[in-house]
A = this chain, B = another copy of it.
Amino acid sequence: MKISVQALSIDIFTHALGNLSAILEKGVAHATAKKFDSNILVGSRLAPDMLPLSKQVQIACDLAKNSAARLAGIEPPRFEDNEKTIEELRARIARTIDYLKGIAPGALEGSEERDIKVPAGERTLEFKGLVFLQRWAIPNVFFHVTTAYNILRHNGVDIGKRDFLGSP
Residues on A facing B (Cβ under 8 Å) = 1-5, 7-8, 11-12, 15-16, 46-47, 50, 110, 112-113, 125, 127, 130-131, 134-136, 138-140, 142-143, 146-147, 149-150, 153-154, 156, 161, 164-166, 168
Other-chain residue from B5, B130, B139, B164 in contact with A165 (beta carbon distance below 8 A): B139
**Contact (Cβ within 8 A) B12 A134:** yes
In the bound complex, how far is the Cα of B130 from the Cα of A90, in angstroms?
28
**Contact (Cβ within 8 A) B140 A143:** no
> A2 contacts which chain B residues (CB < 8 A)?
2-3
> Known contacts A46-B153, A113-B1, A146-B150; is A12 also within 8 Å of B140 by CB?
no
